[in-house]
Structures are given as C-alpha cells and as structure tokens.
C-alpha cells in the first residue's frame, strides 16, 4: 500500500536568548512589543467605538488574541516581503506599518483612510508601497492571489517573498487547494500563513479540519508543513524566517499553521455564545501580550515601568487616530467614478 509520509516541524515557544541568536536585537524586541500593544489597543478601541459609542458602522472582525502572528511575520519579512490579507486585517495593516490614523479613518469611512473610505474594515490592509498587496473579504480567495504575486517576483528575479494570510476556515476552500498546489508546482516564493484561531465563524476548527491539523495538508502538496505557536511572537518570527529563507533559496512554498485563538466573536456584534465554557479563559492564559512582557522583563531587556509607559504612549496615539478619523471628511461621491477603472 502506498504511504504518505507526513513530517511536521513544530516550533514551540522561543526564548529571548534564542531570538537574539536568530538575528533580532534587543531594540527589535522592544519595537515588536510596541507593535503588539498597538494592535491590541487599537482593537480594544474599535470594539468600544462600534458597540458602545456607535461611532462606526458596518462590521469589524477583531484580531484580538492573534497579534503575535502579524507582528512576528512582518518583522521576519521586513524589507523584502509582501502580504495578502483578509477580512480580519486590522492587525496586518498596522503590522505592515500603515499608520493607525489611516486605518482608523478607513473604519470611519473617511477619505483620509487607507483606501479612501471605499473598503472599510475588511479592506484596510491594502497599501502596496508598504508591501500590503490586497485584502480579500472572501474567505480563501487571497491564497492563489498571493501565489501569483510570488510568481511575478520570481519572473523578474526579484529577491522577495509573499505571505498569504488566511484562517482555518479558508483551509477548507477550493482556492486553498488550487493555490497551494499551483505554488508548489511552480516552486514559488510564497508562505501560506494559516492563522488557526480555532473558529470559522461558529464552526470549530477541531471539527472542520478533518485530518486534524491544517499543516498536515502540506504533505499533499509536496511542501514543508510547520506548526508554530501563534501566541508567541518569537515562535512566529522563527517559523516565518525559516520559511522565508527557504523561499529566497528558490526552494518554494511553505505552509505554516500558527496556533492561536480568536479571543472575541467572529465580528464585533458576535457574543460567541457557541464556545464551550472555560475555553476563552484557558486561552487568556496564553495571551501573547503578557507572555512577551514577562519574557522581556525576565531577560532584563526592560522593566514593568517602561512597558507601562509604552502602553500609555500607544493609547495616546490611538486616541489621536480616533480624533483624526472623526475630523476627516467623506470623499465626494463623484470622485468614485475615478477609481472604477484605471
């Protein structure tokens, strides 16, 4: 009988010491901490603006709890990487360096937003000059698009890599299958970054991923499958860096399954009562922010006081972003005609 060999590399928690040996500096670690805080406080503020202040309309899919993935990936591909984002993309946008005020203005539907108020929450991570290529609000559809962007890099001989973000839910789409297979067939410099946050709206990943792990599926496409701790920013960094190095060496794509947890509901309005009792509390213990804080303090890189200052500085920045968004104008309707066609 034919046998499929499945070898999965598991990258667990990475220590500060190991991170420093991987090329990160203490300054990098502090910047990454600041980014994690920015993503978290941004989402906290957005939740308030929607639910309690009713100052933003539509929907928003919060990234709360998953921040370590965007921040770790963005650092690992800094200077040569591109991303394709999705509907849960506030964190991707901020991690790629789009200013919080532009992201906030987008949520407010203002012309000063990342995409002039035409995209809203589900399309904030679009800024090609910062490497954010596109954000698909259709689950799974960004996967083959990421492969195609990588094809362009390889075709032109450019040193670069594309990260296609998607979720456990997207791993069950046809686009996932076709995109991964094509990327492997052409050995493209792309990283398929599955943010397994355990829930596809109300469908638990433990049921819908019928083979148990998304990463196992990599074997079916002849590419390495990696499982990393998506709640440890340094584990994310290490897994992404290894995959990026592989891509840059011309060895093709990697599928990384980042194990994480969606601490909030599917959208801001979703109270997520379908989750088993105690599950959220269990995952809160693995919250990526306190974990990283503790590591930094234990390694003697910073102090609790200094981190508190960072949190206060960032909170102020987020408040300025809200003010900026509030005070910005809405695009004139007639201007829309200018962007239907190039």
Partner 1 sequence: MSTGEERILTYAEAIREGLRQEMQRDESVVLMGEDIGAYGGAFKVTKGLLEEFGPERVRDTPISEIAIVGAAIGAAIMGLRPVAEIMYMDFLPIATEQLVIQAAKMRFSSGGKLRIPLVVRTQYSLGRAHAAQHSNFFPAWYMNVPGLKVVTPSTPYDAKGLIIGSIRDDNPVLFVECAVLYYGVKGPVPEEPYEIPLGVADVKREGSDVTIVAVSRMVHEALKAAEELEKKGISAEVIDPRTLNPLDRQTIVESVKKTGRAVVAADDCKTGGVTAELAATIVEGAFDYLDAPIVRVASPDMPIPFSPPLENRYMRWAKDIVEAVEGMV
Residues that bind partner 1 (CB under 8 A): 84, 113-119, 123, 126-128, 133-134, 136, 138, 141, 143-153, 155, 162, 174-175, 178-179, 181-182, 185-186, 336, 338-342
Minimal distance in Å, beta carbon 268 to partner 1? 21
Q: Which residue, 91 or 113, has its beta carbon nearer to partner 1?
A: 113
Contact 80, 298 (CB under 8 A): no
Q: Which residue, 80 or 186, has its beta carbon nearer to partner 1?
A: 186
Q: Which residue, 149 or 289, has its beta carbon nearer to partner 1?
A: 149
Q: Which residue, 68 or 182, has its beta carbon nearer to partner 1?
A: 182
d(CA 92, CA 126): 9
Among the listed residues 253, 50, 232, 76, the one whose alpha carbon sits nearest the alpha carbon of residue 150:
253
Minimal distance in Å, beta carbon 245 to partner 1? 21
Q: Which residue, 94 or 182, has its beta carbon nearer to partner 1?
A: 182
Q: What is the dihedral of CA 85, 91, 97, 103, to 10 degrees?
A: 90
Among the listed residues 294, 324, 215, 336, the one whose alpha carbon sits nearest the alpha carbon of residue 33:
294
Q: Which residue, 54 or 342, has its beta carbon nearer to partner 1?
A: 342
d(CA 271, CA 65): 16
Contact 244, 303 (CB under 8 A): no
d(CA 301, CA 305): 12
Minimal distance in Å, beta carbon 289 to partner 1? 31
Strand partners, 255: 192, 225
Q: Which residue, 65 or 117, has its beta carbon nearer to partner 1?
A: 117
Helix (H, G, I), strand (E, B) or coil at 20: helix
User: What are residue 95's phi and psi, to 5 degrees?
Assistant: -65, -30
Separation in Å, CA 100 to CA 20, 106, 121, 224, 291: 28, 10, 13, 35, 24
Minimal distance in Å, beta carbon 93 to partner 1? 12
Contact 132, 77 (CB under 8 A): no
Strand partners, 126: none
Q: Which residue, 133 or 239, has its beta carbon nearer to partner 1?
A: 133
Minimal distance in Å, beta carbon 111 to partner 1? 9
């Amino acid at each position: 009988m034919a046998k499929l060999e499945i070898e999965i590399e598991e990258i667990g928690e990475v220590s500060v010491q190991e991170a420093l040996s991987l090329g990160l500096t203490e300054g990098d670690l502090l910047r990454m901490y600041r980014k994690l805080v920015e993503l978290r406080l941004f989402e906290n503020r957005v939740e308030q603006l929607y639910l309690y202040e009713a100052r933003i309309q539509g929907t928003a899919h919060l990234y709360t709890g998953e921040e370590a993935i965007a921040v770790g990936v963005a650092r690992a591909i800094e200077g040569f990487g591109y991303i394709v984002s999705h509907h849960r993309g506030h964190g991707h946008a901020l991690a790629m360096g789009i200013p919080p005020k532009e992201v906030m203005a987008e949520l407010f539907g203002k012309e000063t937003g990342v995409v002039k108020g035409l995209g809203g929450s589900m399309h904030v991570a679009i800024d090609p000059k910062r490497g954010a290529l596109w954000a698909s609000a259709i689950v799974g559809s960004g996967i083959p698009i990421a492969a195609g962007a990588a094809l362009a890099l390889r075709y032109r001989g450019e040193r670069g890599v594309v990260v296609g973000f998607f979720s456990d839910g997207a791993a069950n789409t046809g686009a996932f299958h076709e995109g991964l297979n094509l990327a492997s067939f052409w050995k493209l410099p792309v990283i398929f970054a599955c943010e397994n946050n355990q829930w596809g709206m109300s469908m638990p990943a433990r049921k819908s991923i019928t083979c148990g792990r998304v990463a196992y599926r990599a074997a079916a496409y002849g590419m390495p499958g990696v499982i990393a701790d998506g709640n440890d920013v340094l584990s994310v960094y290490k897994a992404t860096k290894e995959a990026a190095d592989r891509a840059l060496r011309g060895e093709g794509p990697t599928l990384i399954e980042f194990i994480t947890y969606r601490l909030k509901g599917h959208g801001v309005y979703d109270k997520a009562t379908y989750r088993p009792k105690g599950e959220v509390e269990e995952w809160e213990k693995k919250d990526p922010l306190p974990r990283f804080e503790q590591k930094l303090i234990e390694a003697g890189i910073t102090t609790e006081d200094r981190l508190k200052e960072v949190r206060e500085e960032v909170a102020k920045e987020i408040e300025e972003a809200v003010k900026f968004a509030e005070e910005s104008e809405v695009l004139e309707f007639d201007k829309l005609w200018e962007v239907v066609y190039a």
